[in-house]
Structure 1
Amino acid sequence: MSGTSLDGVDAAVVETDGHRIHAFGPSRYRAYTLDEQASLRAALGKWQDDELGGAPRVLERAHLEVLQGFDAELIGFHGQTLAHEPGGRGTHQMGDGQALADALGVPVVWDFRSADVGLGGQGAPLAPFFHFACAKWIGAMEPLAFLNLGGVGNLTWIDPSKDAPEAEGALLAFDTGPANAPINDLMMARKGLAYDKDGVLAAKGRVEEGALELFLDDPFFPKRPPKSLDRDSFATMLGLVRELGDADAAATMTGMVAASVMQGVQHCPSPPSRVLVTGGGRRNPVMMEMISAALDCPVQPVEDVGLDGDMLEAQAFAYLAVRVARRLPTSCPSTTGVPAAVGGGTLSQPSSPIT
């Protein structure tokens, strides 16, 4: 998994039949260099027919490096999302799964989102079916929510009493709003830093309520799920904090993330008994404190229930790859708004060696 925060590539092993999680295996992280990040950032917003420069080579090299040495029967390759416009031009995850399969000699499932978008779905979020399996794995008995704070925030509400993720009432999933991506952009623009480590800068500032109110006026928040966002859907956030000092800008943007989560939870079919947080945002204590203050239930990192918040997204696409290979659905009306449960993804077998 290479996410919208552009920090690097996560790879993780899951033992599964596509229904139950049997075990979690080893994992590995390969960070992008600043030059590689710049190459990928230059390709953001571009489509399949556009000139992508060196970005495809960066992506392929990083994935080959991180995947070397894994003993896997199947690989799920998400690729790098460059553009996402459901109902418009579609979705673009850069990356060639066939080339990866040929290089590694292992079957690869890729292009997970296009089928869903082609049938009228949002194409995101796709982790909810895996979140449902995780809720079963931890033995959850009451409705709960998984909150992923990556570049974009997304929420999965789960009723673990249901038998399958595509069952009616089992899931509701949607993007809540921006998460780390705009804060990372602020840090890069103002400090030359990749992110606000431990929320140190935000902790020194205060939330500007006027900017927060303008942010919440966006029509995205009252819109009923399912709904999804592109990484730069809220690029206007930087403009809302333009006149603020660095610390106040960071605090205000962090507050915007918390407020968007609060708005999102109001869409849940019933209040979650707890919110389990994954993604890089869970390591930002200021963000976690603001979200906890905004919600009426416990807010915990997923490590509290024995999961790995750094690898959950990578594990999700390993799990989804098995579902694709076994012709099981990977999204449904309550997760992406697709008219019926659909299995996305393309399975590429490694080419036979030339003799």
Structure 2
Amino acid sequence: MALLGHPAPGLYIGLMSGTSMDGVDAVLADIGAGGGTVKVLRHGHAPFSPALRAELMALNQAGDNELHRAALAANGLALAYAERVDALLADLPRAQVQAIGAHGQTVRHRPGEFDGHGYTLQLLNGALLAERCGIPVVCDFRSRDVAAGGQGAPLVPAFHAALFARAGQAAAVLNLGGIANLTLLGAQGAVTGFDCGPANALLDGWCERHTGHAYDDGGRWAASGRVDEALLARWLQEPFFHRAPPKSTGRDLFDPGWLDREVPAGLKPEDVQATLAELTVRPIVADLQRHAPAARQLWVCGGGAFNQHLMQRLSALLPGVRVAPTSEAGIDVMQVEAAAFAWLAQAFMEQRPGNLQEVTGALEPRVLGAWHPAG
């Protein structure tokens, strides 16, 4: 294992479970010194067990005996992560892996609120994961940025810049997970980014509620409906959409309760789905046009990249911008976020800052993560 604070190229594992709550993505990546090169060698995905998913969803809201339940859920997530590590390393010595970068499961995200500091909470028993895997673990990436006055999110723009930035070319990277977030890559090297609003969190929730399916396959159900423009206009008055960056959001705002409060009775479910899809797309389009009008390339990753309805609507509303999945740039849409946390683990090993002040609003760059050495 490399010494902290020294160049630490080599193999890293990234583990991600996002606000879509659809399961765990895991990658094994070969990362060069300074994070300048990233090659994904292996990738795996596994859905959560129904019981773990239900408990993680429930813990997004206040409930009885939360401390006990959250601790057990953190254990359960560590074990689910460990199974993905086992699958990645079935025929490889674990000693070859420098570290695991593990995101954990966000269940609350309230930066800057309540006492002027706020908090962000990603459930994960990192010590248990290190014991179970026999590999050092870096986790809890977001808390230090929040402590430094930042939003704690998004953290992927620095990684996006390492992979997708091209000198002289303005571009953007869009992650369509539970929440949509944009990274803006300026032609002269500037990097900014922020959360735009809901994506799969609301789309999947409404689809599961009315069809029994976990997600709208290809966006076909949304495409079958009609957008209610009056309802959409009301939804777009949500103050979050009009806040200036830096900004971030999550299921604290766009949760199943939002659907209960904001969807009027009597509408056809497929029309609501079509309107929710448009609620995903239009803030993205407005933000891209407002903050990066020179961008002519939009790379899309996350599960929403498989939603052809969303992809078509983005293309239709962004004439002159090429909208394409990141797989066309050399990295599968389902690998990007997990690879980002492998990259952030390597940054921790080298004691390089992982946040960008321009993105999160933190007072200064900070090394991100908490360290759990291998047994």
Q: Do Structure 1 and Structure 2 share a fold, with TM-score over 0.5?
A: yes
Q: Which residue of 2 aligns with 1:213?
A: 233
Q: Equivalent of 2:262, from 240, 248, 258?
A: 240
Q: SS of 1:338's equivalent?
A: coil
Q: Is residue 290 of structure 1 aligned with residue 313 of structure 2? A: yes
Q: SS of 2:183's equivalent?
A: strand
CA distance in 1, matches of 2:148, 2:80: 32
Q: Equivalent of 1:77, from 81, 102, 106?
A: 102
CA distance in 1, matches of 2:372, 2:221: 45
Identify the structure with the greater helix proportion. Answer: 2
Q: Which residue of 2 aligns with 1:34?
A: 50
Q: Which residue of 2 aligns with 1:135?
A: 164
CA contact (8 A) 2:207 2:213 kept: yes
Q: Equivalent of 1:50, from 49, 53, 67?
A: 67
CA contact (8 A) 1:186 1:238 kept: no
- Show CA shifts across 1:215-272 (max 9, x none): 1111222211110002241343554333321110110100110011112213425431
Corresponding letter in the other structure for 1:204: S
Q: Which residue of 2 aligns with 1:332?
A: 356
CA distance in 2, matches of 1:77, 1:46: 25
CA contact (8 A) 1:46 1:52 kept: no
CA distance in 1, matches of 2:361, 2:233: 29
Q: Which residue of 1 aligns with 2:199?
A: 179
Q: Which residue of 2 aligns with 1:61?
A: 79
The root-mean-square deviation of aligned C-alpha atoms, in Å, is 1.9
- Show CA shifts across 1:143-185 (max 9, x none): 11000000000000013643xxxxxxx2111000001001111
CA distance in 1, matches of 2:252, 2:111: 14
CA distance in 2, matches of 1:20, 1:36: 36
How far the C-alpha of 1:55 sits from its partner, in A, is 2.1
Q: SS of 2:327's equivalent?
A: helix
TM-score between both structures, scaled by the size of structure 2: 0.86
How far the C-alpha of 1:42 sits from its partner, in A, is 1.6
Q: Which residue of 2 aligns with 1:6?
A: 21
How far the C-alpha of 1:122 sits from its partner, in A, is 0.1
Greater CA drift, 107-116 or 295-304: 295-304
Greater CA drift, 12-21 or 89-98: 12-21
Cα separation, partners in 2 of 1:80 and 1:18, compared to 1, 3 Å: farther
Count of matched residue pairs? 342
Corresponding letter in the other structure for 1:55: A
Q: Which residue of 1 aligns with 2:138?
A: 109
Greater CA drift, 217-226 or 199-208: 217-226
Q: Which residue of 2 aligns with 1:165?
A: none
CA contact (8 A) 2:108 2:252 kept: no
Q: Which residue of 2 aligns with 1:191?
A: 211
TM-score between both structures, scaled by the size of structure 1: 0.91
Q: Which residue of 2 aligns with 1:86?
A: 111
Q: Equivalent of 1:201, from 211, 221, 228?
A: 221
CA contact (8 A) 2:281 2:313 kept: yes
- Show CA shifts across 1:263-287 (max 9, x none): 2213425431211000111111111
Corresponding letter in the other structure for 2:68: E
CA contact (8 A) 1:14 1:21 kept: no
CA distance in 1, matches of 2:323, 2:148: 35
CA distance in 1, matches of 2:315, 2:245: 22
Q: SS of 1:221's equivalent?
A: helix
CA contact (8 A) 2:108 2:120 kept: yes
Q: Equivalent of 1:224, from 244, 260, 272?
A: 244
How far the C-alpha of 1:45 sits from its partner, in A, is 3.6
Q: SS of 2:310's equivalent?
A: helix
How far the C-alpha of 1:192 sits from its partner, in A, is 2.1
CA distance in 2, matches of 1:40, 1:265: 32
Cα separation, partners in 2 of 1:62 and 1:160, compared to 1, 3 Å: farther
CA distance in 2, matches of 1:249, 1:56: 34
- Show CA shifts across 1:33-87 (max 9, x none): 3333212212224699733254223312210111114252211011000100001
Cα separation, partners in 2 of 1:346 and 1:86, compared to 1, 3 Å: same
Give the share of equivalent positions with the same residue, in percent. 36
Corresponding letter in the other structure for 1:288: M
Q: Which residue of 1 aligns with 2:6?
A: none
Q: Give the unaligned 5+ runs of structure 2.
A: 1-15
CA distance in 2, matches of 1:305, 1:277: 10
Q: Which residue of 1 aligns with 2:9?
A: none
CA distance in 2, matches of 1:101, 1:155: 32
Q: SS of 2:35's equivalent?
A: coil
Q: Is residue 254 of structure 1 aligned with residue 271 of structure 2? A: no
Q: Give the unaligned 5+ runs of structure 1.
A: 163-169
